[in-house]
Structure 1
Amino acid sequence: MSEIQFTPDQVRAIESEANMVITACPGSGKTSIVVEKIIREVEDLKPYQGVIGITFTVKASKELKKRCKKNGVETKASFFGTIDHFCLSEIIYPFISRIYGAAVIPLECKLFNDLDEELRAGLPDLGAVGNELKTEDYNLYEPIFRKLYTKGIIILETLGVLSVHVINNSSGCKKYIKSKYTSLYVDEYQDSSEPQHQLFISLLDLGLKAVAVGDIQQSIYAWRGSDPQYIQDLIAKPDVFEHHIVNINHRCHPSINNYANRLFNDNSVVQPTEETRVYQRVYTGNQLSAVQQINVPINKLVDDGLASSLSEIAILVRSNRSLEFVKNGLTVPFRVYSDDPLSSINTPTTKILNGLLFYYFDSTFLANDVLEATEQFRTLSTMERKKISRTIKALRDIPQDELKDNLIRICQALIEIDITKVEENALGRILDDQIVIKQYKPIDQNEVQVMTLHKSKGLEFDVVFHLDLYDWVFPRREFIQGCYDEIFSDWDQELNLHFVGITRAKEYCILVSSTRRLNSNDEEKSGNKSQFMTLPGLAGLYS
């Protein structure tokens, strides 16, 4: 066992070798459990074997891989990455030709919205909420999938559906997965879609040990086809899955934990605490004014030692629009985590370009990290590895104003695929935007972390400023002519998202609203408090 002192619940989950579902609250150490299980398992594997570690974000997968490799542990042939990355690199790219025939031109994964109009013909608008495909839709659209394949196109939004079809119909794919992998670990299972759930079941049916980890109260992606019902379906099969509950929050101050739990149950038991560290603050003015006013308490938090550095302070917002208020209102140094133009395209080329950008701007990123990404798409000989490693290492000697052309050149040399105009333009947008470039650099201890609530999932900070807590905004309300009742777009999902934001805070959580607010048309309205701030049971749990 590692040096971490595990609780009895954690030990039971670690030591069991059964298929299992682990339901874990925020701060319960679920990642530590998964890491310990993986470390114990890979020790006994052959060099060509490994485990599958699926995480929700690229950042989380890098952290999982890093922790599993700590102290020189050899993870053998394990996979660590997102579900999209796994579907592309381990199922679709190597095996779809067994179903559709040999590809005439190199395959490229594209977003539905990036396709020309004629290539979308016959498909629903996959870029729109509510049009997510399910595995039962495969036969209906197979002729279109095949036609796009002949043109070298795989649609990002169809990866799950295609992967389930390939793995269930390609004996070669089944043999490959069974021979290479022994277990499957999936984090954030409450955010799985139907195709992702069916892929999990397909891998389980191949004989892999399966571990699903999640928390129904952190389900925040129903708008794009995710459904917490799938993790509940696993729990409802005790003959197949052991259910381990890990529900002690070791992260948050007790007062934060008390407040967060009362969001769902106004009678939940309150932990004893001598201090209340949740604050509801109403600032004068609109959203921009509120951001301008929190510059003072941010500096004071560091001066008073309540936050170890500015990087341990996070500002969380509901939408990308609100990021603009923060960008324009903050005077303290900050770093914004926004959508990355390359990541949204999600092709082999953009994955390599992402890795090269990290290598250039972050000295802790290794040339071997780029090599490992390259080998997801191309087999390299020992000589090729040495040559490519030298090419990657030379990248750091290139001036930034010459970076774009060199990145394209190196990327094309690594995976032997010509970069498209869309990918080139995305790379250019990144290099022209200093705020986006910061996302590729190591975290600066002197910068506040700014992001949407969705992007904060899995992170933690000493102090969290949770903005956008207005009526109509969060939770989002529907306007219905002649109706005066409060009608919410999706109360449960929004409440889960609010819960995620609050539980990112370890020591202090400040819930922010203001007396006025600007709506989507920049019209100033009354800034009434969010319904989340007046829930029954919260009285006395905040200052």
Structure 2
Amino acid sequence: MGDKIDGFIHSEEVQDFATCIKVLAGPGAGKTHWLIGQIKAILSEAKDLGLARKVGCITYTNKAAENILSQIGANNHRLEVSTIHAFLYKSIIKPYFHLIASEEGFAIDKLDGHDETIITSYGFVSELMKTNKMGMLMSHAKEQYKLKQTVEDYRWKLTKNGIALQKTINYPRLSGIGDKYVNAYKKKVWAEYGIMHHDDVLYFTYRLIEKVPRILHLLVSKYPYLLIDEYQDSTSIQHWLFTKMAAAGCKITLIGDKAQSIYSFAGADIANIDNFTAPNIKLYSIADNHRSTQNIVDFLNKLRSDLKQKSLRKECYEKVTIVCGDSISAYKTASSICGKEKLYALTWKNEDANEMKLGLEVNGKNEDLLGHLSEQDSNGDRCRMVVNILTGIENARLLLMDEAVKYIAKGFHLNTKHINQKKEAIMKMQYLLRSYEYFSKGNLLGFLNVLIELDGSISKVSRGKVFDAYNKPYIEYAKCVNYKDDNTQFITIHKSKGLGFDNVLLVLPEKEVAMDYLLQTDLQHKDDDHRLYYVACSRARNRLFINLPELSKEETEKLIGKFGDVICFSTH
């Protein structure tokens, strides 16, 4: 980035909010602390808020929003903190969507908030294909999981030619299923179901402001100050909106770090933070690291040339340690070094994290069997029942009881709003937990037979492709469960974003990928992989361990050549 930095600041230093501000802050810099201080200063000192105007703050997650609100205290009635989708739905979609709903072919009378419901039933898909002259693709109509993924792969994006749906991955899930299908899908669910996905909120915001420019000025009038966290994860439409608001007089404050942009699959553009401009904008950088020890910061500094951080911590722990061998043994080795302190293992894939939860070695080669079961089992009711109850049981084993009861009740067609049915769901859950030792060591067919004992309406499986699917080990399906809340010490890197842990083990099951990251680090690349591993390493407070399957003598020497005495090695 060629912009001149106006100053290096510390996280406790409030800046003049009379102009737009851009703050570049690396991992552990205390950006949330700085944001909260800036918000408090605006709330207490700004002369142009009055009674009706508010300060807006955009965060990437609901948890981050709750954290900021809890720390602001009594003065938060003049503060609106939320995700971008919630902010735009409340401020633009809710009051103004009726102005364009008809021309967009949207059943506004059926609209009930924004959600991620994706319809993939055979009847819906086959009708969609027939109506839109895609009959030659009808063979895909039963591949519900891949159809769902295909819709999820597309995001609204601004281009030189306007706004359009664009694919965020480079390969098709299903041959022939792409732009035409997703565009037709959108029109059908808008018209018949009134479903507005989170990403559609951005699309309709763009359409409304383009059609009725006064909406933008009303928004700026209500929110004369807007602070945006994690700007590196903004999309093209969000970037367009924030730039428009700044040009209309809103004092925009944004904070972020390009090296921590890990959501390109959700439409994030790493270039946005560099490209944001506004009249008289001030650019600052926070080079402090409050989180990690100097040993870890020295390692992080070796991975990037655009930022050299300094740890503010005085404690001294072990150097960053490379641990060779299988993931379970590496975890035990690292745990022995950490003593009584907790050790968190971070993986890229959800399946890898689940393998470690289950005590299995991570090999990096996993297939989402749970998602694909619907493609093998034509009995939709049976398939949904198995998936829901299995998901519920695995949640129960992690003591995530609210999610467990919800999924088990859904699987057995019980309504948890009725106390007797909720009790029945809990009793069935308890029975399945007692039987876990039996069915978890067998195949999915054994689990299905246990469910049939509890509910005789479920049909058996005897032959064909569906039998082959159910004949695979139960544990292979269990490791595909995606947990909404994860209170274990084995989580994905994406779920670790924004968090810090005393001790971290980064699991890199593929040696070639690991060596490419460590030796050819490129945090500016359009793909997320190197930035993702950088984020994982920067979560560590006291100790950082990196697990690779093996290292040759030559590879070890190459690592020493780059990192020198910043790293050490441990084998088991």
Q: Which TM-score tier does this pair reach, normalised by the shorter chain?
A: 0.5 to 0.7
Quote how far apart the aligned CAs of 1:164 are: 1.9
Q: What is the aligned partner in structure 2 of residue 98 from structure 1?
A: 99
Q: Which residue of the other structure, out of 498, 503, 508, is the alignment partner of 2:538? A: 503
Q: Superposition pairs for residues 463-474 of structure 1, below 5 Å?
A: 463-468=503-508, 470-474=510-514
Q: What is the aligned partner in structure 2 of residue 375 from structure 1?
A: none
Quote how far apart the aligned CAs of 1:79 are: 2.1
Query: Does 104-113 or 530-539 show the bigger shift?
Result: 530-539
Q: Deviations over 1:409-462 (max 9, x none)?
A: xxxxxxxxxxxxxxxxxxxxxxxx9x9999669x6xxxx532111221111111
Query: Does 10-19 or 254-263 show the bigger shift?
Result: 10-19
Q: Which residue of the other structure, out of 143, 153, 156, is the alignment partner of 1:133? A: 156
Whole-angstrom distance in 2 between the partners of 1:451 and 1:171: 44
Whole-angstrom distance in 2 between the partners of 1:219 and 1:400: 42
Quote how far apart the aligned CAs of 1:256 are: 0.3
Quote how far apart the aligned CAs of 1:513 are: 2.0
Q: What is the aligned partner in structure 2 of residue 325 from structure 1?
A: 355
Q: What is the aligned partner in structure 2 of residue 170 from structure 1?
A: 212
Are the equivalent residues in 2 in contact too, given 1:113–1:127 (CA < 8 A)?
A: no
Quote how far apart the aligned CAs of 1:210 are: 0.5
Q: What is the aligned partner in structure 1 of residue 489 from structure 2?
A: 449
Q: Superposition pairs for residues 198-237 of structure 1, below 5 Å?
A: 198-234=240-276, 237=277
Q: Which residue of the other structure, out of 401, 407, 415, is the alignment partner of 2:423? A: 401
Whole-angstrom distance in 2 between the partners of 1:248 and 1:456: 21
- Greater C-alpha radius of gyration: 2
Are the equivalent residues in 2 in contact too, given 1:134–1:195 (CA < 8 A)?
A: yes
* Paired positions, count: 415
Q: Deviations over 1:17-38 (max 9, x none)?
A: 3101100011111111110111
Whole-angstrom distance in 2 between the partners of 1:530 and 1:169: 59
Q: Deviations over 1:18-72 (max 9, x none)?
A: 1011000111111111101111222354444322211112222221222222xxx
Q: Superposition pairs for residues 7-406 of structure 1, below 5 Å?
A: 8-10=9-11, 13-43=14-44, 45-69=49-73, 73-101=74-102, 103-107=108-112, 109-111=114-116, 113-114=118-119, 116-117=124-125, 127=150, 131-136=154-159, 148-151=189-192, 152-170=194-212, 173-174=215-216, 176-234=218-276, 237=277, 239-265=279-305, 277-284=318-325, 286=326, 290-292=327-329, 294-295=331-332, 297-298=334-335, 301-303=338-340, 307=341, 310=342, 313-329=343-359, 401=423
Q: Secondary structure at the match of 2:63?
A: helix
Whole-angstrom distance in 1 between the partners of 2:133 and 2:516: 33
Q: Superposition pairs for residues 524-543 of structure 1, below 5 Å?
A: 534=559, 536-543=561-568
Quote how far apart the aligned CAs of 1:107 are: 4.0
Are the equivalent residues in 2 in contact too, given 1:472–1:530 (CA < 8 A)?
A: no
Are the equivalent residues in 2 in contact too, given 1:187–1:213 (CA < 8 A)?
A: yes
Quote how far apart the aligned CAs of 1:511 are: 0.9
Counterpart code for 2:566 = L
1:105 to 1:122, Cα distance in 2 relative to 1, 3 A: farther
Counterpart code for 1:540 = D
Whole-angstrom distance in 2 between the partners of 1:106 and 1:302: 53
Whole-angstrom distance in 2 between the partners of 1:222 and 1:109: 21
Whole-angstrom distance in 2 between the partners of 1:488 and 1:248: 19
Q: Secondary structure at the match of 1:14?
A: coil
Q: What is the aligned partner in structure 2 of residue 366 from structure 1?
A: none
Are the equivalent residues in 2 in contact too, given 1:52–1:181 (CA < 8 A)?
A: yes
Counterpart code for 1:298 = S
Are the equivalent residues in 2 in contact too, given 1:315–1:451 (CA < 8 A)?
A: yes
Are the equivalent residues in 1 in contact too, given 2:157–2:164 (CA < 8 A)?
A: no
Whole-angstrom distance in 2 between the partners of 1:217 and 1:230: 13
Whole-angstrom distance in 1 between the partners of 2:490 and 2:485: 15
1:283 to 1:67, Cα distance in 2 relative to 1, 3 A: same
Are the equivalent residues in 2 in contact too, given 1:84–1:159 (CA < 8 A)?
A: yes
Q: Deviations over 1:270-310 (max 9, x none)?
A: 989995633334344x4xxx22552464266243xxx3xx3
Counterpart code for 1:455 = K
Counterpart code for 2:35 = V
Whole-angstrom distance in 2 between the partners of 1:283 and 1:472: 14
Counterpart code for 2:495 = K
1:274 to 1:476, Cα distance in 2 relative to 1, 3 A: closer
Quote how far apart the aligned CAs of 1:83 are: 1.6
1:507 to 1:533, Cα distance in 2 relative to 1, 3 A: farther
Are the equivalent residues in 2 in contact too, given 1:112–1:157 (CA < 8 A)?
A: no
Unaligned runs of 5+ in 1: 1-6, 332-340, 342-360, 363-394, 405-432, 478-486, 516-525
Q: Secondary structure at the match of 1:104?
A: helix
